[in-house]
Amino acid sequence: MLPPLGDRPQPARAAQSWLFVASQAVVFTCLGLLQTASERYALPLLVMMHVGIALFISTQRSLRRVCPDVRRLVRATHVLMVLYLPILLYKLLGRFDVVAVREPLLLGATLALSLLALLLAVHSLLALQTLSSR
C-alpha cells in the first residue's frame, strides 16, 4: 500500500530547496570574493551577487507559500549578509586611506564568515529536506 501523498517529499519543494541553497552559495561566494579580489573583478562579482539575491528572494517567496518554517533560515541568511558589511566598510575606508588595511585581518574575517556561510548553507539544506519530508 502506498503512503498518503502528504508523507512523500514533493519534487517542487526539493527543487526549490536546492535553488534556495544555491542562491545562498552564489551570494556568499561573491561577498567573500569581493573582499579579496582586485578592483577589476568588482563589477562582475556585484552583478553575479545581485543575481543570487534575486534568486534568493524568488525562492524564499515560493518556499514560504509551501513551508512557513523557512522564515528562520531566511532571517539567519540576512544576519549573515549584514555581518559582511563591516568588512566591506573596512576595505572601503582602506581604499580612501582612512585606515591602514591589514590583509591578514581582512582575510581572517572573510574566511570566518565564509565558513559560517558554508555551515548555514548545509544547515539550510538539511532543514529544508526535513521540512519537505513532513
In contact, 130 and 9? CB cutoff 8 Å: no
Q: Look at residue 5 in the predicted model and tell me its pLDDT.
A: 41
Q: Dump the DSSP string for 36-69.
A: HS-GGGHHHHHHHHHHHHHHHHHHHHHHHHH-GG
**Cell numbers representing residue 109 in the block:** 574575517
- Domain span including residue 58: 9-127
Answer yes or no: is 55 within a domain. Answer: yes
The total number of structural domains in the chain stands at 1
Block means of pLDDT (10 residues each) for the chain, length 134 residues?
46 80 93 87 94 94 81 91 91 90 90 93 86 67
Q: Rounded to an integer, what distance in angstroms lies between the CA atom of residue 10 and that of residue 33? A: 35
Answer yes or no: is 133 within a domain. Answer: no
Answer yes or no: is 70 within a domain. Answer: yes
**Cell numbers representing residue 79 in the block:** 544576519
3-state SS of the chain: helix, strand, coil percent to 5? 85, 0, 15
Q: Look at residue 62 in the predicted model and tell me its pLDDT.
A: 86
Answer yes or no: is 132 within a domain. Answer: no
Instruction: Give the model confidence (pLDDT) of 13-30 as tens digits.
Output: 778 888 999 999 999 999
Answer yes or no: is 62 within a domain. Answer: yes
What's the alpha-carbon Rg for the chain, to the nearest Å? 18
Q: Rounded to an integer, what distance in angstroms lies between the CA atom of residue 2 and that of residue 119? A: 36
Answer yes or no: is 134 within a domain. Answer: no
Answer yes or no: is 112 within a domain. Answer: yes
In contact, 21 and 55? CB cutoff 8 Å: no
Answer yes or no: is 118 within a domain. Answer: yes
Instruction: Give the model confidence (pLDDT) of 89-108 as tens digits.
Output: 998 899 899 999 898 998 99
